[in-house]
């Protein structure tokens, strides 16, 4: 704590802070300095500390919370009232290095906060074989309370089912950028499946199981990136889905109710790519779409430097 106080003394106008654990006492000399912070990366062990983060740092626009190894969130419920910030625009949930993010942690976070201005959401796990059940109820209520317009959504090494991911995307009709990093171990549960690909197809209702509502999923999508570690991938379905979202004529796109997909990136880490199958996409590349389809070296999820637990 003394070293942290020294940091604030030497840099009294600091606006960005990364620290392993949020443990500032209410009478700490540091507390008044936290008002200046606009960016915070911090570990939180309890739901109470989650509330404390926002009450102590009311001017945050960028927040990264990560789950500590000794965390405990038993039976987390919606706090009364939930903590609201009209300034937080970018929010990331993560875990300690080599550990998996838990459903309890995600549930606790979603039950604690309301972020009306949120436009960027990222959820990541540092365990390559993370498996969890998505807290649907908590997410649905968080989105209803916040009424936020999320335009960028990323998941990294998050072992949720394809149906859970489709459920999430139904709440993101304004989404423009979607990035999915597959789990990196074969025993992990990957959300990148044929069902997900067909759900993203531009022709709503193509697959009744993935799109029972008949509504077009993420109609404003403009950039799509997959990092895929598995070996079974439906290349033809992927090509069909991407092609269905190429609508360069804005008038026709307006009639269809879908924006033109402008960029698609697919990195495969455990399989060879048959580039002949992707010729239709390479043709689209010649007329304006960004297309990257590559076999790639093993990708290491970007851990946050300096936040590993000792």
Reported as a single tens digit per residue, the pLDDT across 214-249 is 689 999 999 999 999 988 899 999 999 999 999 999
pLDDT in the model for residue 306: 39
39 and 112 share a domain?
Answer: yes
Cβ neighbors of 32 (< 8 A, separation 6 or more) are: none
> Within a 10 A sphere around the Cβ of 11, how many other Cβ atoms?
11
Is 168 a domain residue?
no
Question: H-helix or E-strand containing 64?
Answer: strand 62-67
Domain boundary (140, 162, 184) is at 162
Q: Are 9 and 33 in contact (CB under 8 A)?
A: no
Domain boundary (162, 181, 212) is at 162
pTM of the model: 0.89
137 and 226 share a domain?
Answer: no
* Distance between CA atoms of residues 221 and 261, nearest Å: 6
Nearest to 99 by CA among 303, 284, 305, 306: 303
9 and 158 share a domain?
Answer: yes
Nearest to 200 by CA among 249, 245, 157: 245
149 and 259 share a domain?
Answer: no
Q: Are 126 and 66 in contact (CB under 8 A)?
A: no
Average pLDDT, whole number, for the chain? 85
What residues make up the domain containing 40?
1-162
115 and 230 share a domain?
Answer: no
Q: Running DSSP on this structure, what letter comes out for residue 259?
A: P
> Considering its fold, how many domains does the chain have in total?
2
153 and 205 share a domain?
Answer: no
């Amino acid at each position: 704590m003394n070293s942290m106080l020294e940091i604030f003394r030497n840099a009294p106008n600091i606006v960005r802070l990364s620290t392993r654990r949020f443990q500032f006492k209410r009478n700490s000399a540091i507390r008044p300095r936290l008002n200046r912070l606009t960016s915070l990366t911090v570990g939180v062990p309890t739901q109470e500390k989650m509330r404390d983060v926002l009450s102590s740092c009311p001017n945050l626009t960028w927040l990264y919370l990560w789950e500590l190894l000794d965390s405990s969130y038993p039976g987390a419920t919606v706090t009364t009232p939930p903590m609201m910030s009209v300034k937080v625009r970018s929010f990331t949930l993560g875990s300690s290095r080599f550990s998996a993010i838990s459903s309890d942690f995600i549930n606790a976070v979603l039950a604690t906060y309301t972020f009306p201005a949120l436009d960027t959401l990222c959820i990541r796990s540092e365990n390559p074989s993370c498996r969890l059940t998505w807290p649907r109820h908590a997410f649905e209520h968080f989105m209803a309370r916040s009424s936020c317009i999320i335009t960028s959504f990323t998941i990294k090494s998050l072992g949720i089912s394809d149906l859970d991911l489709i459920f999430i995307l139904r709440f993101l009709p304004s989404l423009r950028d979607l990035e999915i990093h597959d789990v990196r171990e074969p025993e992990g549960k990957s959300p990148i499946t044929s069902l997900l690909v067909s759900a993203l197809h531009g022709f709503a209702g193509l697959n009744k199981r993935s799109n029972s509502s008949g509504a077009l999923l993420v109609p404003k999508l403009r950039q799509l990136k997959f990092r895929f570690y598995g070996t079974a991938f439906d290349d033809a379905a992927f090509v069909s889905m991407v092609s269905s979202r190429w609508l360069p004529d804005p008038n026709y796109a307006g009639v269809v109710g879908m924006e033109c997909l402008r960029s698609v990136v697919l990195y495969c880490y455990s399989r060879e790519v048959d580039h002949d199958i992707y010729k239709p996409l390479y043709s689209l590349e010649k007329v304006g779409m960004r297309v990257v389809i590559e076999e790639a070296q093993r990708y290491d999820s970007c851990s946050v430097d300096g936040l590993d637990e000792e």
